[in-house]
């Protein structure tokens, strides 16, 4: 099993509030990496109600869970999810120690192994 992703207190509180608003305590936060973005990979997040059999599920108390697929897990080792409250560009953000370069959009990165194919940010 990979090193669990950590959640800051701010991210935990925001996720808890999001689940309350949805009225679905059974949901988890799926964090994934997909090829693309201006640096090679991009992050994505979604609410998940049915983790796959091969997914990693990390628990954080208060029924808070993060789900990561095996492909994404290799690029998210040691990552931290935070929630930034800002007038523009606020939201969940990933602090990834494996990212050696990122782009201005903040959701794209490249690893030291130079994996991924760069595409324009949207």
Domain ranges of the chain: 6-111
Sheet of 41-48: strand order equals 56-59, 65-68, 28-35, 41-48, 108-111, 99-102
pLDDT tens digits for 26-82?
Answer: 999 999 988 876 667 888 999 999 999 999 999 998 889 999 999 999 989 999 999
**What would the CATH number be for the domain defined by 6-111?**
2.60.300.12
Q: What angle do CA 45, 16, 30 make, to 5 degrees?
A: 20
Output the CA–CA distances (angstroms, integers) from residue 111 to 31, 41, 80, 102, in the order listed.
17, 9, 16, 9
pLDDT tens digits for 79-101?
Answer: 999 998 877 767 888 888 877 66
């Amino acid at each position: 099993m990979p090193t669990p992703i950590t959640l800051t207190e701010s991210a935990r509180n925001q996720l808890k509030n999001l689940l309350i608003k949805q009225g679905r305590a059974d949901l988890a936060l799926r964090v994934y990496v997909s090829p693309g973005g201006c640096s090679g990979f991009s992050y994505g997040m979604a609410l998940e109600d049915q983790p796959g059999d091969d997914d990693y599920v990390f628990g954080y108390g208060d029924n808070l869970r993060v789900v990561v697929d095996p492909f994404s897990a290799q690029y998210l080792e040691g990552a931290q999810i935070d929630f930034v409250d800002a007038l523009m560009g606020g939201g969940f953000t990933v602090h990834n120690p494996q990212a050696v370069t990122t782009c201005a959009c903040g959701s794209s990165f490249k690893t030291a192994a130079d994996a991924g194919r760069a595409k324009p940010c949207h």
